[in-house]
Amino acid sequence: MVRAAVLPAVGAPLEITDIDLPDPGPGRVRVRLAAAGVCHSDLSLSNGTMRVPVPAVLGHEGAGTVVSVGEGVTGVAPGDGVVLNWAPSCGSCHACTLGEVWLCANALTGSADVYARTADGTDLHPGLNVAAFAEETVVPASCLLPLPDGVPLADAALLGCAVLTGYGAVHHSARVRPGETVAVFGVGGVGLATLQAARIAGASTIVAVDVSPEKEELARSAGATHYVVASEDTAREIRALTGRQGVDVAVECVGRAVTIRTAWESTRRGGRTTVVGIGGKDQQVTFNALELFHWGRTLSGCVYGNSNPAQDLPVLADHIRAGRLDLSALVTERIALEGIPAAFENMLAGKGGRALVVF
């Protein structure tokens, strides 16, 4: 039995309780969690914006130590440090054959599995495959990446989502070039990672935008050269900071229609707008045909940073070891499992960066 945060039903409060976690079967691995990040996607799963079979144990950004392995597992052994990969690619679907592993059609099929049970025998599903909001979890071996040398185990949890997403949004989706100007909308965990990635890419001007004035110091420490408190004048303010042109690249990390539209309007003619935030179906963004022609901007979605985790993790590790990427700077609160509901409330209120559950 291990303690976990269980989502009993969509929209219901999380329950911190003991669950019955079985020994790993063939091809599966048991992992003791060191830490798990509380991501906005977890909130979206809990409130129904994104769908997941329930009851479930959420949490998809984590790192830990291998406890035991099932039959046929050869890539990891007990005692190994690992980073959880919530979206493993199958290697055979159409997207994977094109090299677009972040769009794998089969990446989330494991979320429908029954991987554990509550104390009264109720089946539990692993939210986004890996069920990281628990002291221990059992996952397919494909959901594990080796812990890079020189990266602290607890901080490495952030590599599993926030950092891969933010770094990938800048380097894979928007393809920011040295000297370009960048605006980042939303200074949460992913936004902070995006700001650091823009700095690493050599952006000349980096504008952070958020509804909270209190996040300015946090944003500037991550690499922002300017800070704008979100308002109806945001696009105008950003254009004023960039010679009335607008930024070369805008990255939206919120997932709200009004923010996406503002990011678009803040981008120069011919610039690129990348949407990382996950919004609900009710968030409708509209454009007219003439402005699409006139502005010549590119608007693109971005899934998991358009990243290939197996290839990108060693690159991120190099940046960490060289001091260019600071994982601990993303964390504004370290909590226990019981603190997850409050972390959700802070997200809704626009407070803080990444909350990290430390076991």
Q: In the structure encoding, which two tokens stand for residue 46, read together? A: 């809990």
Q: Please say if the pLDDT value at position 91 is more than 90.
A: yes
User: What is the DSSP track for 34-84?
Assistant: EEEEE-HHHHHHHHTSS---SSEE---EEEEEEEEE-TT--S--TT-EEEE
236's enclosing H/E stretch is helix 234-241
Q: In the structure encoding, which two tokens stand for residue 352, read together? A: 């803080």
The string of pLDDT tens digits covering residues 269-285 is 999 999 999 988 899 99
pLDDT mean across residues, the chain:
96
pLDDT for 358: 97
pTM, whole model, 2 decimals?
0.96
pLDDT for 239: 97
Q: Please say if the pLDDT value at position 235 is more than 90.
A: yes
Q: Please say if the pLDDT value at position 51 is more than 90.
A: no
Q: Please say if the pLDDT value at position 73 is more than 90.
A: yes
Q: 182-206 burial, b for 16+ CB within 10 Å, e for fewer?
A: bbbbbbbbbbbbbbbbbbbbebebb
The string of pLDDT tens digits covering residues 288-329 is 999 999 999 999 999 999 999 999 999 999 999 999 999 999
3-state percent breakdown (helix, strand, coil) of the chain, nearest 5: 35, 25, 40
Q: Please list the residues that pair with 84 across neighbouring strands.
A: 144
The answer to whether the CB of 63 falls within 8 A of the CB of 136 is no
The string of pLDDT tens digits covering residues 283-293 is 999 999 999 99
pLDDT for 54: 95
pLDDT for 274: 98
pLDDT for 50: 86
The answer to whether the CB of 17 falls within 8 A of the CB of 119 is yes
Q: Where are the beta strands (DSSP E) in 195-234?
A: 205-210, 226-229
Amino acid at 148: P
What distance, in Å, lies between the first and last C-alpha atoms of the chain? 15
pLDDT for 122: 96
Q: Please say if the pLDDT value at position 52 is more than 90.
A: no
pLDDT confidence of 33, banded at 50, 70, 90? very high
Residue 32: which of 120, 158, 153, 155 has the closest Cα? 153
The CA distance from 244 to 242, in Å, is: 5
Q: Please say if the pLDDT value at position 241 is more than 90.
A: yes
Q: Please say if the pLDDT value at position 139 is more than 90.
A: yes
- Residue 341: is the preceding peptide bond cis (ω within 30°)? no
Q: 5-14 burial, b for 16+ CB within 10 Å, e for fewer?
A: bbbbebeeeb
Handedness of CA 197, 203, 209, 212 (dihedral sign): positive
Look-up: residue for tokens 């001007």? Answer: 205
pLDDT for 163: 97
Share of the chain above pLDDT 90, in %: 95
